[in-house]
Amino acid sequence: MVAALALLVSLVMAFHSGIPNDIGNLGSLTETFLPWLGLAVPILLLAALLRRSATALVALVLPAYAWVHLFGGLTLDKAEVRGSGDLTVLTHNVDAANTDYDRTVREVIASGADVVALQELTEAAVPEYGNGLAAAYPYRAVEGTVGLWSKYPLDDTDEVDIGLGWTRALRSTAATPEGPVAFYVAHLPSVRVKVDAGFTADRRDRSAELLGEAIVDDPVGQVVLLGDLNGTMNDRSLAPVTSQMRSAQGAAGDGFGFSWPSSFPVTRIDQIMTKGIDPVSSWVLEDSGSDHLPLAAELRFRQ
């Protein structure tokens, strides 16, 4: 039994892309929490030792190898020395229910970021954050419930249609000393796990397709996406975006960089992604009072 369970876990990790999404988006749900399947290895190892089963011990090599193959690289520190980048960016879902604006403002400014993206802004929160961040970030762009604050001038700001009927994504061009950078700020629809419907992610998936279409056609060569995508880099349904961009955490992070929920992070649904500009470090900031943790990354322009 232990050996059979080890084989099953290894098959799920190795062939997760083959799990169909037709029934309750089961494939995407599995991929959202895929790294946690590694916990099965020590549990099954204990069971194998208690059973004194050589067969089970040998079988455990398979899920252990599959996990290391998929996620071993994330356990390494790939970040360069902090301060070696050209541009520091930050993204944060500030939580519509969070009214401790001063605390969030302090965390954002203390990060030293040059460009800051905030999601889940309420009508009451926009002037609060606007006033609090104005001295450090003289330029801002707000569309609907998402906003961008910058130390550099912003131009060509417009909402990005992600098929919701209200605005949860924007695009703006920042005039940095190294040239223009197109910034996208997005908050894709939330997902839920329901007994009768499974993983309800259809609206998010459609929004990801529209966001991917907007990014692929962007005329600026250097593109940065900041936002709450309500999905991980492993989730196949975000492929319209993830297939054309690099994850800052995957390229230059230390660990998994889980961002949600802030009280006990179990997954990374907030993302910093780039195209035409390279991440050199990525990190998770301290709790600011939101249900999401802020994320930051340093980027370097290509010569």
Q: Smallest Cα–Cα separation from 191: which of 269, 299, 116?
A: 269
Pairing assessment for the beta strands 223-228 and 246-247 based on DSSP bridges: unpaired
pTM equals 0.93
Distance from C-alpha of 293 to C-alpha of 289, rounded to nearest angstrom: 9
Tokens, residue 166: 């209200």
Tokens, residue 48: 């194998």
Distance from C-alpha of 227 to C-alpha of 222, rounded to nearest angstrom: 17
One of 3.40.50.10680, 1.10.3720.10, 3.60.10.10, 3.40.50.1100 is the CATH number of 87-301, namely 3.60.10.10
Return the pLDDT at 194: 74
Half-sphere exposure of 116 (CA within 13 A, CB side): 27
Task: Provide the residue-wise pLDDT of the chain in tens; the chain has 303 residues.
Answer: 999 999 999 999 999 999 998 888 899 999 999 999 999 999 999 999 998 999 999 999 999 999 999 999 888 889 988 888 999 999 999 999 999 999 999 999 999 999 999 999 999 999 999 999 999 999 999 999 999 999 999 999 999 999 999 999 999 999 999 999 999 999 999 988 876 667 888 999 999 999 999 999 999 999 999 999 999 999 999 999 999 999 999 999 989 999 999 999 999 999 999 999 999 999 999 999 999 999 999 999 997
Q: Where does residue 263 rank: exposed (0-12), middle (13-18), buried (19+ CB within 10 A)?
A: exposed
Return the pLDDT at 196: 65
Return the pLDDT at 265: 96
Return the pLDDT at 233: 95
147: Cβ contacts below 8 Å, ≥ 6 apart: 117, 118, 121, 126, 129, 140, 141, 170, 185
Return the pLDDT at 85: 93
How big, in percent rounded to 5, are the helix, strand and coil portions of the chain? Answer: 35, 30, 35
Distance from C-alpha of 250 to C-alpha of 233, rounded to nearest angstrom: 9
CB 28 within 8 Å of CB 17: no
